[in-house]
Amino acid sequence: MSRSSWRIAIVLEGVYTRNLSVAGALISLPGRILNRFNDM
């Protein structure tokens, strides 16, 4: 593996984990809103 492909792999991994965290936030957001409505 050359150094440039290593760099690409690191960047891809960073983008992938960020997208995963965004997806997790989108999934948990409706649950948070529902909990807020239940508290009212």
What would you report as the CA-atom Rg of the chain, rounded to the nearest whole angstrom? 17
Distance, CA of 17 to CA of 19 (rounded, Å): 5
SS3 1: coil
Question: What tens digit of pLDDT does each residue of 25-34 get?
Answer: 888 988 888 8
CA distance 18 to 40: 33
Cα(5)–Cα(27) distance, integer angstroms: 33
Give pLDDT tens digits for 1-40: 688 999 999 999 999 999 999 988 888 988 888 888 888 7
pTM equals 0.51
